[in-house]
Amino acid sequence: MEAASSSPTQCRYSYEVYKETADWLLAHTEQRPKVAVICGSGLGGLADMLSDKICVPYKDIPHFPVSTVMGHAGQLVFGKLQGRECVCMQGRFHFYEGYNIHTVTYPVRVFFLLGVDTLIVTNAAGGLNDSYNVGDIMLIKDHINMPGFAGQNPLCGHNDERFGVRFPCMSDAYERALRDLAKQTAKEQGCDSFLQEGVYCMLAGPTFETIAECRVLQTLGADAVGMSTVPEVVVARHSGMRVLGLSLITNKVVTDYESNDKANHEEVLKTTQRRTHDLQRLVSNLIIKI
C-alpha cells in the first residue's frame, strides 16, 4: 500500500494507484459489472446468490485494504444475477479498524474505474426512530455525516478532475428513482410491511452510542445510526455513480436511563441472520431492474 503523503493538500492515493488495482482486477476476470454492492455486517450472503462467481480475496488485490471485522468475509465476488453482471464486496472498511478516510473509500474509486455506474450500499444500523422495529429495512433517503462535521471528508485535499468536480452536490446523494424502484420491488416481494425510509447518521465507532448521544441524534433528525456507508456514498457521488442505500435495523438504541438493554455486535449479527433472506431477495430483484 502506498505510503501516506506528508502534504495535507494531496490525496492519500494517486489516480495511478487506483488504476493499477482496477487494471489488475480487469485482467483477472472477464466480467465487466455495472452494479457494485457493498455488503454490511452479516450481509455478505448477498454474494452467494451470484452465478458464474469469481472470488478474489482482498489480500491478493494490489493496494487493497483488508477487512478485520467479524461478519465480513474480506473478498470481492464477481458474478451474475439472472445474466446481470455485478460485483459484491463481502466486507467493508471502517474508521474504527484504524484506517484513514481514503483507505475506507478506496474500493469505490476502483469500482468507478472498473466501469461501475450504480452503487448499492447495505449496513446494519441501530434504530433511532421510535416507530422502527428490529428487522425493519430502511431505505436511506439522506445522511448526516458526523465525521465530515469534524473535517473527515474523503474529498479533502487535492481534487483529481478525472474522478469528479471539486464541489459535488450531496442533496441528491440517494437517487429518488432508485428508492422508488426499491419500494415497488419490496411490494412485489411482500417486504413492504417492514420497509421504512429515513435518515442515516454515521458515527466513527467502535463504541455504541451513549444515551445522551442517541437523544442528540434523534433531535438532529436521524432515524438510524451506524459506523459506515457515508464516506463510500460521498466518493461514489463525486464520481457520478447512482446510489441506493439500505439499512437493516438490527437493534433499537437505548434512550432511557432506566433501561437495562445494551447494544452488542452479537445481537446485530443474529438479527441480520433472521432478515438476510428478505434483504437478499429485495436487492437481487432490484439489481435485475436497474
At 6-49, the pLDDT tens digits run 333 344 799 999 999 999 999 999 999 999 999 886 677 788 88
pLDDT, residue 214, reads 94
Cell 430483484, residue? 285
pLDDT, residue 5, reads 42
Kindly report the backbone phi and psi dihedral angles of residue 276, in degrees, each rounded to the nearest multiple of 5, phi listed first: -60, -35
Residues 210, 188 contacting (CB under 8 angstroms): no
pLDDT, residue 2, reads 45
Report the distance separating Cα 140 and Cα 134, nearest Å. Answer: 16
Per-residue pLDDT of the chain (290 residues; tens, 9 = 90+): 444 443 333 447 999 999 999 999 999 999 999 999 998 866 777 888 888 999 999 999 999 988 776 555 689 999 998 788 999 999 889 998 889 999 999 999 999 999 999 999 999 899 999 999 988 999 999 999 999 999 999 999 999 999 999 999 999 999 999 999 999 999 998 888 899 999 999 999 899 899 999 999 999 999 999 999 999 999 999 999 999 999 999 888 887 777 767 666 676 666 667 778 888 889 888 998 88
SS3 for the chain is: CCCCCCCCCCCCCCHHHHHHHHHHHHHHCCCCCCEEEEECCCCHHHHHHCEEEEEEEHHHCCCCCCCCCCCCCCEEEEEEECCEEEEEEECCCCHHHCCCHHHHCHHHHHHHHHCCCEEEEEEEEEECCCCCCCCCEEEEEEEEEHHHHCCCCCCCCCCCCCCCCCCCCCCCCCCHHHHHHHHHHHHHHCCHHHEEEEEEEECCCCCCCCHHHHHHHHHHCCCEEECCCHHHHHHHHHCCCEEEEEEEEEEECCCCCCCCCCCCHHHHHHHHHHHHHHHHHHHHHHHHHC
pTM of the model: 0.90
Architecture in CATH of 15-289? 3-Layer(aba) Sandwich (3.40)
Cell 450472503, residue? 45
Q: Which residues are catalytic?
A: 41, 72, 94, 96-97, 124, 227-228, 251, 265
What's the N-to-C CA distance of the chain in angstroms? 34
